[in-house]
Homo-oligomer: A and B are copies of this chain.
Amino acid sequence: MELPSFIASHLDAIERELDRVTPPETRRPEALHRAMRYTLMAPSKRVRAVLTLLSAEVCGSSERALPAAAAIELVHASSLILDDLPALDNAALRRGRPSNHVAHGESMALMAAFNLFNLAFATIAASYEPPLARRLTSLVAEAVGSQGLVGGEVEDLLATESSISFDALELIHRWKTGSLFVAAAAAGALTAGAGAERVQALSAYAKNLGLAFQIVDDLLDVEGDPAETGKPHLADARKTTFVSFSGVAGARALARELCETATGALDTFGPRADGLRALAGFVASRHM
């Protein structure tokens, strides 16, 4: 599937920013920076970073949003490395390539994940005036913490096929996927100087978009072409997913419904939010 132009037009700037904030592979310790860049710079649609830029645009300008978008991608890349580790998903492939610990060894993968995460905070502190830097630091830390990425991963670890309810599954993914989407959107809005009301509207949009994104991921795992998804068919089949709860048709309907709820939160912005509406359309129809 071709990338829609509203995404493609932002990709160059995002890649350049990630390259700018990350130490080069020629700097010591070279092996660490190689492992960091291996995952960070792998081909990606950069949905979260694009969400940051579009959220900033709709609030006035994306001129100052790039470091925040990079910080979000740094956190995301870090979480991908961790997710794939033997102690977690034990995934040998990621985006069609050997996962980080397969390519660089487990200890180096761990250090790369830790340093990418650290670099997210360093980038925020180095790029924004103090009040905004502090606000973005809190935002990212909350998205990662006990009721964010980490908390969702833990709930996922603790969940077993037999005991998990639909509500529990939704909570896992609101924490594990949704929280970083919300932070991505809110961060973009804040870099454009948005007030509480617009930050809240964009957070509501992103919360529903993130959940839809996860459901489509589950669908791709059942229906997707391994050449496009970059991982073996049914790689997550041992897990309870939205598809195992609602079936393929039900999960598709749920994803569409969530994308509609998401775009509903954009009404206050009028036609300026067409990019974000298109992003929701892209997420809902990804590879399908």
Chain A positions within 8 Å of B, measured between CB atoms, are 23, 27-29, 31-33, 82, 85, 87-88, 105-108, 110-111, 114-115, 117-119, 121-122, 124-126, 130-131, 133-134, 137-138, 140-142, 144-146, 150-151, 153-155, 157-158
Contacts and interface: CB of A to CB of B under 8 A. Distances in A.
Contacts of A31: 154, 158
B151 A29 contact: yes
Is chain A's interface secondary structure helix, strand, loop, or mixed overall? helix
Copies of this chain held together in the complex: 2
A157 to B, nearest CB: 5
A125 B150 contact: no
B146 A32 contact: yes
A173 to B, nearest CB: 15
B126 A138 contact: yes
Contact of A32 (B117, B137, B150): B150
A100 B26 CA distance: 35
A121 B121 contact: yes
A88 B85 CA distance: 14
Nearest to A137: B125
B153 A141 contact: no
A150 B87 contact: no
A157 B108 contact: yes
